[in-house]
Amino acid sequence: MENLDELMRKKFDSDDPAGRFEFREEFWEQAQVLIEADEARRRKRRRWLIWWFFFGLCIAIGGWWGSGSWNSNRGSLGDEKSRLDGSSGNLGSNNGTGSPGGNGSNEAAGNKVTSGAEAGRGAAFGTKDGAGAGAQELNANNHGTGRLQDSKNSTIKNEGVPGNVQGAAASQSARIQKKTTGPGRKGQNNTPVNVAGLQSGSVAAGAADDKQPRNASNNPSEINKTGAGVNQTDGNTTTGPARPDSMAADLAARNEWKGLALFPALPVGPGYLELPKRTVDTQTVEAFVRLIKPLRESKFRFGLSATGSFGQASPDGKRLGFSGGAVVRYNLTQTWSIASGVQWRYLSGAWARDTAETGSEQLKYSFGYKLDTWNLETQGMHLIEVPVGLRWKQGAFALEGGFSPGFLVAVQGQLTKGHMESLQEGLTTETSKVWLEKNVYHAFAPSFFLGGEWMATRRIGLTLRGTLRPGKVGPKLSDTPPPANLFWLDAGLRWYF
Amino acid sequence: MNVDPQLLQAARQGDRKAQYALYRVCFPVLMAVCMRYRRDEQEAVAALNSGFLKIIQNLDRYRRDEVPFEAWIRRIMINTAIDEFRREKKWRELTVFSEAVEREYDEIIDWNEAEQRLNVQHLESLLQRLPPVTQQVFNLFALDGFSHREISDMLGMSEGTSKWHVNHARQKLQMWIKTELNPAI
């Protein structure tokens, strides 16, 4: 036996193949076709990678943009709320307009308050600020204008009064402007005048029905100051000279506007400020409040994930895989968190060539023949992974990257048995799943990942993640090096509890 | 076989002319390997082209100071031939378990005469007449120096099966050699 091996070895070793095999151009043409096809495949793979990168980028930008618009929506809700809050100011200002309107005395005051709640407050307090000559102007935004203006002779035009009154009653903006050139000096009575004097003014008369004192100040002395101008105003007008008795003036004002009854809710009188009840659409407000209710973010969030994988081809040309598992997140800050989990991954393909496929046949002759075939194919790897990563969140979009140790659990194969015999027509086959030896693969499979998540809703997130598994799939058993540096993309869903 | 490193560099970078030159240089060596592992010239050329593609793809991994280029491409070609053989599913060879008594030809063959009269082409044609699996196993074991364990790993069979194929090949080859030397037998 050894002689045969020796003979063969000697002959082939001493052989000069250059003389035996003649080169023909057609051989190179065939090789060139293969080389060009391979180059085209590589180009296509690069193009795919670029497209995937572009796709991921688009998703990232879309997610970021989407999260931005979501935030802006939240902002508008906030604005809506503040607008509602501002409306109370308007109401306040309306109340105020009644008061300074009523306090026609303030024509002497040099006070100017504008806009919103400030206007209301200013209006309410207008009387106390304005002693002396000057002008007082109260503006309440978003409302109609009622204007009351005194002429120099300290008369109040009647048409101005309803305007002001109406503005106050309808929650319109009231603008009360009085310009006097020191009616206090002209007035007949420079003595301190109380609110009764104010009420004697035509504007104040509108508030006469309400016994609530509407003056902003609880300090009678200040009221008296403001009252000074009023008396001057009142001197030539409808109510006549102010009576020192405030109650009497109040009564007079009621009589004056009895027929109108336009201010059923307008309070009058000094002493304290009380805003009337305002009618608010509570349903709308509650809806807004519900919408802008701050989200409670607990420190831990748990969820489930499922992804499909697409990556570089295995030696037998398979690219797909999938994974599923549980995720947990611990929020360090509003934006940063640590993410971890446990997931099972199936990576299809026969990654170790040494066990890619085996088979055998047996043919027996015994009054006919029997043929049995066996074919064993490697289907894929099952791994358990424990990804640990850092996550940065901006709005609804999050970036995460980290390290994922993986442990090979099993290698799945498929056994196909075939049977054919002379008395039986055709070949019968039977397939079954089998678990193959794992020693041709590395048991530990570390990988690194980088990806993003877009929270489509509060509980559901869409993820796209690239994973690189550096190093070789298995130990080198033959001269064919096992594949190395696997890369794949995971796209999937996460559902948070 | 001497290959200019600049030629390898250019071939690695995709220069088609350099690849062509390299193909011409490698062709005889690779063809000699392929003819042992394949049944005819057409199959051998197909395998050769696949092997050459792998050589081009892996040129950047070649370390000139570690292994001669000829040995490196020969090894790649053998692996390619084995890979293709497995992929083409030619495992389903009909193995006949006959009960015929194995004859021992060792005693009646004059090996000196065989060495003088038989050339490489003769032996190559004899190898090609072997059943495919037996041909692969015998090539790997007797001519390329792989152990039975390595062969069993490469071809996914047990070591015993590998040994059986080698013995089977030897019997067949000796019988055919004897026939070649002495057609009367």
Within B88-156, where are the H helices? 111-117, 120-129, 132-138, 148-155
In this model, does residue A380 exceed pLDDT 60?
yes
Chain B residue closest to A369 (CA)? B96
In this model, does residue B27 exceed pLDDT 50?
yes
Residue numbers in A near B86 (CB within 8 A): 356-358
Asked if A261 is an interface residue toward chain B (Cβ–Cβ < 8 A), one would say no
Residue numbers in A near B95 (CB within 8 A): 360-363
pLDDT tens column, A414-461: 888 888 877 777 778 888 888 888 878 888 889 999 999 998 888 889
Residue numbers in B near A360 (CB within 8 A): 91-92, 95, 157
Residues A231, A239: Cα–Cα separation, whole Å: 10
pLDDT at residue number A194: 45
Bigger pLDDT: A357 or A123?
A357
Contact (Cβ atoms closer than 8 angstroms) between residue A424 and residue A386: no
**Phi, psi values for residue A386, rounded to 5°:** -125, 80
Residues B163, A462: Cα–Cα separation, whole Å: 56
Chain A residue closest to B115 (CA)? A7
pLDDT tens column, A17-48: 877 888 888 899 989 999 999 989 888 888 88
In this model, does residue A280 exceed pLDDT 50?
yes
| Chain A 322-351, residues with CB within 8 Å of chain B CB atoms | none
Lowest mean pLDDT among A66-80, B120-134, B157-171: A66-80
Lowest mean pLDDT among A181-195, A253-267, A303-317: A181-195
Q: Do A353 and B48 touch (CB under 8 A)?
A: no
pLDDT at residue number A67: 66
CA of A28, closest CA in chain B: separation in Å? 7
User: Quick check: helix, strand or coil at residue A358?
Assistant: strand
pLDDT tens column, A237-261: 444 444 456 667 767 766 665 555 5
Element (H, E) at A164: helix A160-169
In this model, does residue A334 exceed pLDDT 70?
yes
Tally Cβ neighbours within 10 Å of residue A35: 21
What is the pTM (predicted TM-score) of this model? Answer: 0.40
Of these ranges, A102-106, A346-350, A352-356, the one predicted with the greatest mean pLDDT is A346-350
> Quick one: which of A374, A312, A376 has its CA closest to A348?
A312
Q: Do A363 and B95 touch (CB under 8 A)?
A: yes
Contact (Cβ atoms closer than 8 angstroms) between residue B54 and residue B76: yes
In this model, does residue A278 exceed pLDDT 90?
no
Average the pLDDT over A4-19 and give the result. Answer: 83
pLDDT at residue number B155: 83
Q: Do B120 and A12 touch (CB under 8 A)?
A: yes
CA of B8, closest CA in chain A: separation in Å? 16
Contact (Cβ atoms closer than 8 angstroms) between residue A234 and residue A241: yes
pLDDT at residue number A198: 41
ipTM greater than cut 0.95: no
Residue numbers in A near B26 (CB within 8 A): none
Residues B12, B49: Cα–Cα separation, whole Å: 16
In this model, does residue A213 exceed pLDDT 80?
no
pLDDT at residue number A292: 55
pLDDT tens column, A119-148: 444 333 334 343 333 334 444 344 434 344
User: Quick check: helix, strand or coil at residue A245?
Assistant: coil
Tally Cβ neighbours within 10 Å of residue A206: 30
Q: Do A478 and B153 touch (CB under 8 A)?
A: yes
CA of A54, closest CA in chain B: separation in Å? 28
Q: Which of A354, A373, A481 sits opposite B154 (nearest CB)?
A: A354
Q: Do A11 and B24 touch (CB under 8 A)?
A: no
Residues B19, A206: Cα–Cα separation, whole Å: 105
- Give bridge partners of residue A340 from the DSSP assignment: A328, A388
Contact (Cβ atoms closer than 8 angstroms) between residue A268 and residue A214: yes
Tokens found for residue A341 = 């989990």
Tokens found for residue A468 = 């690189």
Chain A residue closest to B81 (CA)? A480
Residue numbers in A near B23 (CB within 8 A): 27-28, 31
pLDDT above 70 as % of chain A: 50
Average the pLDDT over A397-403 and give the result. Answer: 93
* Residue A132 φ/ψ region, left for φ over 0, alpha for ψ in the -120 to 50 degree band, beta for the rest: left
In this model, does residue B95 exceed pLDDT 60?
no
